[in-house]
Amino acid sequence: MSVEPHAHDAHHEIEMPHASMRDYVIGFVLSVILTAIPFWLVMTMPLSAGVTGAVIMGFAVVQIVVHMVFFLHMTPKAEGGWSLTSLVFTIIVVVIMLAGSLWVMHHLNTNMMPMPHEPTSQAVGQTTGQVP
């Protein structure tokens, strides 16, 4: 009695999601719209610079989601949910790294800059009449 070593592997195959032409067209149209609106905002400047930057960042996040859903097929069902789980973990790590880096740079800037009330050695010598 021989057992084939790969007989049980057929049940553990990863199913890749399939998309239709309709899904690709919807993703493409959404991508074009999500690119055209920020372009229009920059070219016509109907809003202030800060608001325009915030709106563009919002559109960028939405466009990332559109690309992941319509082109990369990242859904909770794809690959048993592991691709989405790894994406969430990656996002958490990147946010922690960025926040930590910004926090460290802010405190370095605050604590390491020379204070304006600290006199230098030449300024001390000039006020007291002593020459170093």
Instruction: Return the DSSP state at 6.
Output: T
In percent, the amount of the chain with pLDDT more than 70 equals: 73
pLDDT digits (tens, 9 = 90+) for 49-88: 999 999 999 999 899 989 988 998 888 888 888 888 888 8
The pLDDT value given to residue 81? 82
pLDDT band at 19; cut points 50, 70, 90: confident
pLDDT over threshold 80, residue 12: no
The pLDDT value given to residue 83? 86
DSSP string, 75-131: -TTGGGGHHHHHHHHHHHHHHHHHHHHHHHHHHHHHHHSPPTTPPPHHHHHHHHT--
The pLDDT value given to residue 84? 84
121 vs 29, more confident:
29
DSSP string, 14-31: PPPP---HHHHHHHHHHH
